Structure 1
């Protein structure tokens, strides 16, 4: 039985259509960056030295741990920023990180991860959720479980939306351990692009622009679905499937 506060089917359909547009826009940025860099995501990873590839997962896990503490600690000091400002900040950091090649790109990694996580937390708040709630913090981490902007696998993009049930009983550290391998591949592509000779700062700026734009869009999709489930009274799984259909129908 529905209540008067629940959304009618037409409004739910419109909301799903808007989220589908965000989802498609997120993927489009990655393809544009690939065209700029003139390569494929898989080939980018091969450019990294073996010693870096071997340590990438551990570095990513540490970056996420640092980002969780820094992003949460900054909320009482620095207000949430507009999406364009988060993108501009990350783009500038990417340029600085790429200017010095791989060493500075590695040093920039936890800083960029913090900016991304803080932006995701801000979007959670925008949709009416409390980023200081432990469960919402885990939801914010889960956004990193989506495919990166250089990944063309739409199925991987959608899979993270269905993974919310796995949060039950999971600790933040446990969730980070599960997300880190996937995010390591994503951030490895970014590092490899920044390490490309000659491109340097330009590649760093371009990839950070793509990553910040992508994860902000995916955060809107994730928390938009959560809000829609709460307001419509419809099961979240049902809304995820409706989004999946909407994303694949209009190309």
Structure 2
């Protein structure tokens, strides 16, 4: 085995590990849907029209508030372990779901802030500085992926290769681009929290799913970025390898 073969095998192993994270990220979302009954596609129908009409704007505001709060809190509160972020978000989801839609809406920006702080902490794990504006944009980009309640066929991976398109963009314009997609995911979460009787349980379960999901996606996002910088391989090439890895298990299951 040549010296050049070892680095290639190493990066292939990293890609395989990241593909495994991606595959496993959404599995708990299916358990949430089983708990509350129904499918992700009809969850939004449970929200009243006035809530659906304000959802995208509310998500945009939540992202803006989350970015400011997350950045300001980094100098005061250290990054937490993934399990602690998940536990905190789970508790908030239970509280948000206990009072129906009003408390769920009030809890939304707090949950987004916790999610963003968790993503920033993972960026730091891979050697990136979350206070760097470029890295801050990368952290926001993680929210561009579908939420855990959506079935993902691997087509929704453009966020992994989005660095070229977002570098240099103003943060508010990036938030405006992310908000419509995130609002769908957050709307599903809010709808789950309003399920009669199960509100608190569904709120805890959905927040657990969302925190687990976005932390896994952050590992994939920054893992690929770090691998690209270490190996010198283009990011798009690594994303293509990841897609190939993700397709292989499906072939074996069919």
TM-score, structure 2 as length reference = 0.95
Residues 48-107 of structure 1, C-alpha deviations (whole Å, 9 max, x = no match): 000100000000000000000000000000000000000000000000000000000000
Cα deviation, residue 212, structure 1: 0.1
- Could you tell me which residue of structure 1 aligns to residue 129 of structure 2? 130
Is the contact between residue 7 and residue 232 of structure 1 (CA under 8 Å) also seen in structure 2? no
Secondary structure of 2:130's aligned partner: coil
Task: Give 1:206-245 correspondences, 5 Å limit.
Answer: 206-245=205-244
- Could you tell me which residue of structure 2 aligns to residue 169 of structure 1? 168
Secondary structure of 2:169's aligned partner: coil
Distance 1:243 1:174 in 2: 28
Cα deviation, residue 250, structure 1: 1.3
User: Unmatched 5+ residue regions in structure 2?
Assistant: none
Alignment root-mean-square deviation, CA: 1.5
Is the contact between residue 134 and residue 168 of structure 2 (CA under 8 Å) also seen in structure 1? no
Residues 120-140 of structure 1, C-alpha deviations (whole Å, 9 max, x = no match): 000000000000000000000
Task: Give 1:1-251 correspondences, 5 Å limit.
Answer: 8-251=7-250
Compared CA separation, residues 136 and 83, structure 1 to 2 (3 A): same
Q: Moved runs in structure 1, 4+ residues, more than 3 A?
A: none
Cα deviation, residue 168, structure 1: 2.6
Tell me the matched-pair count. Answer: 248
Secondary structure of 1:155's aligned partner: coil
Is the contact between residue 23 and residue 218 of structure 1 (CA under 8 Å) also seen in structure 2? yes
User: Unmatched 5+ residue regions in structure 1?
Assistant: none
Cα deviation, residue 35, structure 1: 1.6
Cα deviation, residue 7, structure 1: 7.2
Is the contact between residue 99 and residue 201 of structure 1 (CA under 8 Å) also seen in structure 2? yes
Secondary structure of 1:8's aligned partner: helix
Cα deviation, residue 31, structure 1: 1.5
TM-score, structure 1 as length reference = 0.96
Cα deviation, residue 169, structure 1: 2.4
Is the contact between residue 146 and residue 156 of structure 1 (CA under 8 Å) also seen in structure 2? no
